[in-house]
Structure 1
């Protein structure tokens, strides 16, 4: 039985905050590091316990590259635009994304239950299950408490094990279940308690990645992410003890082209419907060369940069 299963309120370190991530066609929730999760949960409790201090409206997370808006529950990049990388991209790894505060998790892969379902389970647990679990004497294999809805049933066993019985993947939010699971053990609290030491080193070196032509077609964020990942692999291989020095090199994309309209409306008006993809490709790449060499747009480009 969990050490805090019978507590009225889940400890801060047992609650885990996560952000939504879609990569390779798979949707999932990725947990914040322990340090970020503790700060988010502390801000959440102070906010909903009557504190109106504006300092808690936004919390920096993910190595100080993003911030969470506590009002809208959105994780927003600080140094670049939060929209999709490009019209051709389906990946949103470095874009604005939703965040969730999770108390109840399914134990198969420790992903959070749907928020509304978690609220129902937490209410049933505090109101009915805790008093019954405290009064358990002897051994029994019958549930001490049940809660049943149209699509699922929750069972609290005498040993503290809790099961979610369902025929649908709906209570699991965006998670796709495999194998026709019908009975899933769930947990009150994450499997790894959050710790303030669980955080990346502070940024000690900054590298600005500036794009050239073709930003409208691709994205500097994507290329910057690849540079970041490649450098991390090289550093881990050649300098395995670098992380112990407490230093970190961060790459920040400089996207100055997207904020410039230039004469894009004129190009759209004169672009005929035939061979539209090819003409759009030319407009979004090679035409940039004409912009960069033109004294008419040079001032706008320098101001944006």
Structure 2
């Protein structure tokens, strides 16, 4: 959407007023009135591009609750541009449009630019960089580059804007803008901006000054009326046609100075909550993907905060998301796996080697410690770097949370809990050797064998010491205390179950993750995500029969607080009256008792729900389905039938796992499992292919995180 030009908002004052009161009134009244335009912007749908940069910040033109303080009155005379009138821009590689820095960033860059221009003695350090874009980037003014601080790549160019194209307000190229500025000041300095030359009764307005370039020329009709005309053949032809028709000039108007003033108050709030975003498998396959995923999540959180909580920035605190790349720096086996990979289906095998192989690496005792140390070191490095750039963070009691995806949840969990299988194994072997040595005091031969075994174990321990030494010795693996751990599409529950974690009779999850280590644990997943598993049944056994809490739609008009949502059992544990359809008491297609036949053994069939030992026969089901539905073997019908089978099998499995009479009334202190709601047109079987990577762009999750990172935003 193009921004309108300032001329559309200017309130004209009577010409020729010379009194001081009139001049003062002119300076006060001739402000750009944006109320109608901002109201139009607020009515845009959510599907419109919200024009956020990678730091998640916007221009105050659309953000600030009091926009007028950033708009400046038109000047009376032509004079030198003040720093407030100049705006700096940046543009990422591959983009066509320049993006404006916020006023706070632009002013500091302009001051450094002017200081360097006046520094003839070289007293100013040209390598000193300015923190911009919400603290995620810094600017090198000398070379006009903008660099990311916490990740690599993503370097953008910056440009100083003085002259702008009408409508788009894109800056003119500096080499041309400098020449036009020099010509403008040489001919119109100290002249009134509202000065209008005499206009002839017939014909176009006279051109009082002209400047020609190779591809275009610029005409001055007045000190504040400057037009650019292209010298291309098509543009010349268009000008001849419009001139013959008596139309006005078809050139593009140029504006001197940006459309609103840069102010030091135009700055983002201080960071009160730092969030590390940890990736799972597949980072080796697409290096830097977590940077984009983190950007997507950050932009949606900022967008929802500005849309639903526009006054929250007045509290001068916000959350910031930093990507954590733990995989790109690891070599692990070198080229060993690559050398043993067969050449048949090489492309598919390379994808598996770059993604699923990370799980095998992590379960290996040789590489596991190297992976955990890489993630631990990277988070500590980023935190130290962040605190050095934001010294107020720890002083003001800043909080830290982690958003982890897939395997990243398991690695993060092991780091903060200090779980180390090698250390446990060493302790176990040592205890066994000590016990056997005590029982073998009367046998010298057996004692010698035990001593040899002890020596061998010590040799193995020494060979692995270099790999996990730092992790074993680290008393405090992270330099910060964790506030929240958000698990997205996490297989953590499976890893814990295989490690022997079993449900307890308490309503807390301290045996999984003590609150002294992390205050809150959230397990968020899509119902079709094949990698995600539930955590609550590992706390209380009967929660296998309790449905997870459904995450609210971000645009829902009424949201029940999650702490007040009552637990709800699966449909398999409801009575038939509860399962009946609300329209006419008809059983839902996904409930049990549908009457479909199942086959126990060849030649025997039984009705669904007629007894125990039920088995599904896919071939029989498909045969009966096609026989009863002649001509209806389309893909949609097949998928619906498979969904019904899946629903029946799921309910049967839950019912066999626990009998309804075993359900007790013990409740968790707070819920752990949160499930995304499926959209009406979403197909579960189709979602299997995309659901594991859908979390970064999901606005429901962004709203959920925003309201839990800042609990004061939750509805009372």
TM-score normalised by structure 1 residue count = 0.80
Q: How does 1:75-224 map to 2 (within 5 A)?
A: 75-81=146-152, 83=153, 95-130=154-189, 138-140=197-199, 141-167=205-231, 183-218=251-286, 219-224=289-294
Kept in 1: contact 2:166–2:252 (CA 8 A): yes
Corresponding residue for 1:280? 350
Shift of 1:209: 1.0
Deviation sequence 1:199-236 (CA, Å, 0-9, x none): 11011111111112111234111221222233334444
Deviation sequence 1:123-169 (CA, Å, 0-9, x none): 222234437879x675243222111122100111225211111156x
Once residues 55 and 147 of structure 1 are traced to their aligned partners in structure 2, the CA distance between those partners, rounded to angstroms, is 35
Once residues 293 and 4 of structure 1 are traced to their aligned partners in structure 2, the CA distance between those partners, rounded to angstroms, is 73
Distance verdict in 2 for CA 1:120–1:298, change over 3 Å: same
In structure 1, the residue corresponding to 2:84 is in which secondary structure?
Answer: helix
Equivalent in 61, 70, 78 of residue 6 of structure 1: 78
Corresponding residue for 1:15? 86
Hey, which of these two has a bigger chunk of strand by percent? 1
Higher relative CO (Cα under 8 Å, sequence separation at least 6) belongs to 1
Shift of 1:70: 1.5
Kept in 2: contact 1:47–1:56 (CA 8 A): no
Shift of 1:247: 0.9
**How many aligned positions are there?**
277
Deviation sequence 1:240-281 (CA, Å, 0-9, x none): 432221110111111121222334555556667764542332
Equivalent in 295, 301, 304 of residue 225 of structure 1: 295
Shift of 1:298: 3.3
Distance verdict in 2 for CA 1:265–1:190, change over 3 Å: farther
- More displaced 10-residue stretch of structure 1: 102-111 or 223-232: 223-232
Kept in 2: contact 1:167–1:182 (CA 8 A): no
Deviation sequence 1:88-121 (CA, Å, 0-9, x none): xxxxxxx221111111111121001112111221
Shift of 1:183: 1.2
Shift of 1:294: 2.6
Corresponding residue for 1:172? none
Kept in 1: contact 2:197–2:222 (CA 8 A): no
Shift of 1:182: 5.8
Once residues 339 and 178 of structure 2 are traced to their aligned partners in structure 1, the CA distance between those partners, rounded to angstroms, is 52
Corresponding residue for 1:304? 374
Matched, 1:36 2:82: no
Corresponding residue for 2:607? none
In structure 2, the residue corresponding to 1:279 is in which secondary structure?
Answer: helix
Shift of 1:301: 2.5
Once residues 157 and 132 of structure 1 are traced to their aligned partners in structure 2, the CA distance between those partners, rounded to angstroms, is 14
Kept in 2: contact 1:66–1:76 (CA 8 A): yes
Kept in 2: contact 1:4–1:10 (CA 8 A): no
Matched, 1:67 2:138: yes
Shift of 1:80: 1.5
Once residues 327 and 76 of structure 2 are traced to their aligned partners in structure 1, the CA distance between those partners, rounded to angstroms, is 52
Structure 2: gaps spanning 5 or more residues: 1-6, 8-73, 200-204, 233-248, 376-716
Corresponding residue for 1:252? 322
In structure 2, the residue corresponding to 1:195 is in which secondary structure?
Answer: coil
Q: Which has the larger radius of gyration?
A: 2
Once residues 305 and 213 of structure 2 are traced to their aligned partners in structure 1, the CA distance between those partners, rounded to angstroms, is 52
Distance verdict in 2 for CA 1:3–1:276, change over 3 Å: farther
Hey, which of these two has a bigger chunk of helix by percent? 2
Corresponding residue for 1:295? 365
Once residues 276 and 225 of structure 2 are traced to their aligned partners in structure 1, the CA distance between those partners, rounded to angstroms, is 51
Kept in 2: contact 1:73–1:98 (CA 8 A): yes
Once residues 227 and 297 of structure 1 are traced to their aligned partners in structure 2, the CA distance between those partners, rounded to angstroms, is 30
Kept in 1: contact 2:130–2:138 (CA 8 A): yes
Kept in 2: contact 1:10–1:189 (CA 8 A): yes
In structure 2, the residue corresponding to 1:227 is in which secondary structure?
Answer: helix
Shift of 1:59: 0.4
Once residues 261 and 5 of structure 1 are traced to their aligned partners in structure 2, the CA distance between those partners, rounded to angstroms, is 65
Q: Cα RMSD over matched residues?
A: 2.9
Shift of 1:26: 5.3
Kept in 1: contact 2:77–2:190 (CA 8 A): no
Once residues 236 and 138 of structure 1 are traced to their aligned partners in structure 2, the CA distance between those partners, rounded to angstroms, is 47
Equivalent in 242, 246, 249 of residue 312 of structure 2: 242
Shift of 1:32: 0.5
Shift of 1:52: 3.2
Once residues 295 and 273 of structure 1 are traced to their aligned partners in structure 2, the CA distance between those partners, rounded to angstroms, is 28
Distance verdict in 2 for CA 1:240–1:71, change over 3 Å: closer
Distance verdict in 2 for CA 1:124–1:269, change over 3 Å: farther
